[in-house]
Amino acid sequence: MIPETAAQVESQLATRGHVLLSPEQQAEEQTWRQQFAQSIRTPQALLAYLQFNQQDCQAMLADEQGFNTLVPTSYAARMQPNNPQDPLLLQVLAQSAEAETHAEFNQDPLAEADYNPAPGVVHKYQGRALLIAAGHCAINCRYCFRRHYPYAEQQRSRAQWQQSLATLAKDEHLAEIILSGGDPLALTNTPLFALLDEIEKLPQIKRLRIHSRLPIVLPARITSALCQRLADSRLQVVLVVHSNHAQEINSEVNAACLRLKQAGVTLLNQTVLLKGINNEVATLCALQQALFSAGILPYYLHLPDHVAGTQHFFVERSEAKQLHQAMQARLPGYLVPRLVKEEPGKAHKTLIN
Ligand code: SF4
């Protein structure tokens, strides 16, 4: 059950032995959960929020192909009203092109099913393992490489998490646990902190990496209770956010990132190169600069994966290389993310030079 009142939150935390939250902290927790609960959940509601007229709405609506619309209002508020080409809108609005099929695009282009030793675990690379910590996100990005992922099959109870972690504990080379999803920060504090407690019990684990889009799309999630828990961890904490466009970085995102930095969290960003959204050198350069101003270091620029239903976002490798070279000519080296492609069967991401 996701608690909705401050009393419920307090009762849950007290039951699990966590430090009780102050009234201000309880209000923060309630705020992000309310924002999450009040997210936009239909394309019609999104287009109405952006003031498109009835005729435009009819022309823009498309089948969601079983991947539901989900957009926090605080993210929609950063879109330009009445602009069908808005780069934030295009990331979340279903388009008719999603119904097209193509032989090279499939539901599991990274073959993650081949690296799934236990439900909820993806173990591809030496030294680190990925846990599917949550079966949902705070936003549904239309280009997502896990839009077809069988989250329901991978859902785990806390007892089963312990079993998975016990399996991983036998790997003496494992130094890093990656929480992914879904989005791990879409979990409420109680299950998230309980999972962190379990990970911290594994003696060989040195680093915790959290992959989350919430600091960008729902920055209210970065509460003082969350930051305190991360600051108290014995692990080095790295948070890899996911931003694709400078328009996503507003004052709330900046404030959330500052809080994380003050908690000792290392902030990195990964971007997906997306046709019609950020495949221009000025757009990519503006993003790196906005990220750095927010205290986030550019990390990866991903070539999109061959995910069924996302062909209209695809950028060819030759174009990506040209864009990357142009970024290198315009930015200092520390602001240029590594251009990479993930390929099934490889022991690491492929660097594209
Ligand atoms: S937040 Fe990440 S995992 Fe979730 S839908 Fe977007 S790209 Fe996919």
Per residue in 133-188, pLDDT (tens digit) is: 888 999 999 999 888 776 666 556 666 777 788 888 888 899 999 998 789 999 99
Report CA(146)–ligand 1 centroid distance (Å).
7
Q: Report the alpha-carbon distance of residue 109 to residue 292 in Å, rounded.
A: 31
164 CB-side CA count, 13 A: 25
What six digits make up the tokens of 267? 């902030």
Q: What is the mean pLDDT of the chain?
A: 90
Q: Report the alpha-carbon distance of residue 120 to residue 207 in Å, rounded.
A: 19
- The pLDDT score that the predictor gives to residue 97 is 94
Q: What are phi and psi of 55, to 5 degrees?
A: -65, -45
Q: Report the alpha-carbon distance of residue 176 to residue 238 in Å, rounded.
A: 10
Q: Give the dihedral of Cα atoms 144, 122, 209, 256; nearest 10 deg.
A: 30
What six digits make up the tokens of 66? 């079983």
CA 10 to each of CA 16, 28, 189, 192: distance values in angstroms, whole numbers, following the listed order: 10, 13, 11, 16
Report CA(22)–ligand 1 centroid distance (Å).
32
Q: Report the alpha-carbon distance of residue 92 to residue 71 in Å, rounded.
A: 7
pLDDT at 14 over 50: no
- The pLDDT score that the predictor gives to residue 123 is 73
Q: Which residues line ligand 1 (CB under 6 A)?
A: 137, 139-141, 144, 146, 181, 183, 213, 242
Find out whether 265 and 235 touch, Cβ atoms under 8 Å.
no
Q: Whose CA is nearest to atom 3 of ligand 1?
A: 182
Per residue in 200-241, pLDDT (tens digit) is: 999 999 999 999 999 999 999 999 999 999 999 999 999 999
- The pLDDT score that the predictor gives to residue 205 is 96
pLDDT at 82 over 80: yes
pLDDT at 69 over 90: yes
Structural domains for the chain:
1-32 (no CATH), 39-99 (no CATH), 112-351 (3.20.20.70)
Say what the pTM is. 0.90
Report CA(164)–ligand 1 centroid distance (Å).
23
| Beta strand 338-341 pairing with 350-351 | antiparallel
The answer to which of 16-20, 270-274, 303-307, 318-322 has the lowest mean pLDDT is 16-20
Q: Report the alpha-carbon distance of residue 211 to residue 195 in Å, rounded.
A: 15
Q: Whose CA is nearest to atom 4 of ligand 1?
A: 137
* DSSP category for residue 245: -
What residues contact residue 103 under an 8 Å CB cut-off, 6+ apart? none
Find out whether 29 and 9 touch, Cβ atoms under 8 Å.
yes
Q: Whose CA is nearest to atom 1 of ligand 1?
A: 213
Per residue in 323-337, pLDDT (tens digit) is: 999 999 999 999 999
Q: Whose CA is nearest to atom 6 of ligand 1?
A: 141
Report CA(19)–ligand 1 centroid distance (Å).
31
